[in-house]
Amino acid sequence: MVYGITKAIAAIIFRLCYRLRVQGLENIPNQGPAIILPKHQYWTDIPIVSLTSRRQLNCVAKSELFRIPYLRTFLSLVGGIPVNRERTTKTTGSFRYILNLLREKEYVVIFPEGKYYPGEVGKGKSRLIQMILNWQGHRGTNNTGAMEDHIPFVPMGIRYGGKGLRKMVTVKIGRPIFAEGEDEASRLTNQIIERIARLSGLPRG
């Protein structure tokens, strides 16, 4: 309920401030689980990404934000997941929660650059992606006896344009990318970053 109300308010406010254009919505799977991987330039990326999906998105955020009591409660209610950006092994509880969301076929948002990179695309961090791929490799079989489907990693470009009120924001969603196991984490991360740069129309840093 909190997520729905917050999203409705964000939709009103952001339509007053931005002209949002979304391309490639068909590339987001109709059913979860899925990892959404957007470009990260400003704090506004988070509500903009949420407006591209009809379903609730659970967003990984820096753990520092969750140290503020009231903000921590609000972020948790709207699907925020605290992760230590420098030492992901310190947030094993959050990682277990991410895996539980994937088991429940939910959508999880991860900003692969790890922090803001205005005007360019960062190199990307692969540790969290590696942990997800490791879990994927140990899921086993489903009820039909077949191997579980691979998790789709969906790159998303965000481009801010113009000045003044109602700037144009273009969101381009790329086709899902798949990987076999955790040994492909670095390759997958690099491929994701390359796609994000292309979709955003921004150079790689």
Least Cα distance to 59 among 12, 106, 119, 124 occurs for: 106
- pLDDT 10s per residue in the chain (205 long)? 677 788 788 888 888 888 889 999 999 998 879 999 999 999 889 888 988 888 888 988 877 777 777 777 777 777 788 887 666 556 677 888 899 999 999 999 999 998 899 999 999 988 889 989 998 887 754 544 333 578 999 999 999 987 777 788 999 999 999 998 888 999 999 999 999 999 999 998 7
Q: Which amino acid is at 38?
A: P
Give residue 188's pLDDT: 95
CA distance 130 to 134: 6
Distance between CA 200 and CA 160 in Å, rounded? 9
**Is 172:38 a contact under the CB 8 Å cutoff?**
no
Burial class (CB in 10 A: 0-12, 13-18, 19+), 89: exposed
pTM of this structure: 0.85
Domains of the chain: residue spans and CATH: 2-18+32-139+147-200 (3.40.1130.10)
Query: How do the residues of the chain divide into helix, strand and coil, expressed in percent and rounded to 5?
Result: 40, 20, 35
